[in-house]
Structure 1
Amino acid sequence: MKVLIIEDERKAAIELRSMILSLRPDWIIADILPSAEEAIEWLTENKAPDLIFSDIQLADTVSFRVFQTVKTDCPIIFCTAYDEYAIQAFETNGIDYLLKPVDMARLGRSLAKLELLQRNSGAPVADINRLIGQLSAPYKKTILVHLKDKIVPVAYTDIAFFYYTRGIVTIRLMGGTSYHIGQGIDEIEAAADPHLFYRANRQFLINREAVRTIEKFFARKLVVKLSIDTPETLVISKAKASDFLNWVEKGR
């Protein structure tokens, strides 16, 4: 059994690897990847593993983006520290989860459950698309901006991009108005309709209606120009370039 671990907390990843090998010494840990971008690149360039352990909140985005970008039929055991709704979805969808910090007994039950499903079904196939739909819908239409003693409702459709830097998320509207908000960009991304918004990189979550031109960049990267100025050059990595172009073209 070849296993891939997607986890941005190095200590947690090493501990998980140690526990897996303690329970299944003959298994092989193919790799440990700390980001969605690296996971996308790995899954694109390598044969799919037999099993994936994946954290939900990664350093650059939520891990669901990985499985939207690279289709895989291998089973996935998600890791989470907080999301009770996700836990319920995994349970009802037949995909298991590990609640952090990982417990050896719980991990053992997960592996036993996986092996039982494999024996009964003959193939470890997970309905990833339905899981993603359960976890990410319904999407928010409006975000609330707090300005001193006022609360300003802002429609997602009016937002050109979200920009994260130095722990602060800035909203830039299509007309150029800017607001600072207290929410994290990962939280905002999870609530935004992926047909309308795309996580270009760690700094930017962009609205498709704001995209004006796409230019080829060195090392097969892309530079995206929006309808309004951005605080820094908006670069799409080589690993995400194909997925981004597909999103622009098809609205995926």
Structure 2
Amino acid sequence: MKILIIEDENLAAKRLVKLIKEYVPEAQIFGNLDTITASVQWLESNPEPDLIFLDIQLADGISFDIFEQVKVKAPIIFCTAFDQYAIRAFKLNSIDYLLKPVDPAELVAALEKFRNGRKEPAIDIDQIRLMLGQSTKSYKNRFLVKVGERIQTIDIQEIAFFYSEDKVTLLQTNQGKKFIVDYTLDEIEDMVNPENFFRLNRKYISAIAAIKEVFTYSNSRLKIHLENCTDNDILISREKMSAFKIWLGQ
């Protein structure tokens, strides 16, 4: 097994190597790489490893920038000190998320996931960038809607939530007015600021101000009541719970 370590803290890297060697003595370990620049150069010049251990904060920036410069297919286990974000995995090729100092039992569990080909639920990289104060992406400030023969704009601050119904996408304002929009929910999810909007499930994207009540529900899920919404069965899956709680409490 060929393992690449990208980590800007030398002591953390040495400890990680020691733990990996204890569990996978046959592993070939490459690195330690401590910058985005060095990581990109290595990945461009060497065969892809079987697995990457990756810190989020490197000496010259956030490690997500690596994937904007070079294509990486290898699975990733993140190691970071950002415990307050409670992130389980990311929308790349992530296997798991380990908090530094890495717990040996958690490392073993992560390597078992890798060997068994299991992946944790993912959340969007733009959302993580936002939490880390790194988001530079621009988002829509208003949406065009058609009212009879007239076209008007709805400011993003006026939108309570977007939802799909009978293969049509609609937005509902804070006043409860509904308008058809010419985008799918998947498209809208990428257009709105994840600081203010969250994809609750396949049918709903909600503004934080529209979240009226949150209830625990059976099978480790959450039930959401939205303002001025008659749908009382809006559920958040177990896979989305952690990301939703992070978003709600940030």
TM-score (norm 2): 0.50
Structure with bigger gyration radius: 2
More helix by share: 1
Higher relative contact order (CA 8 A, sep 6+): 1
TM-score (norm 1): 0.50
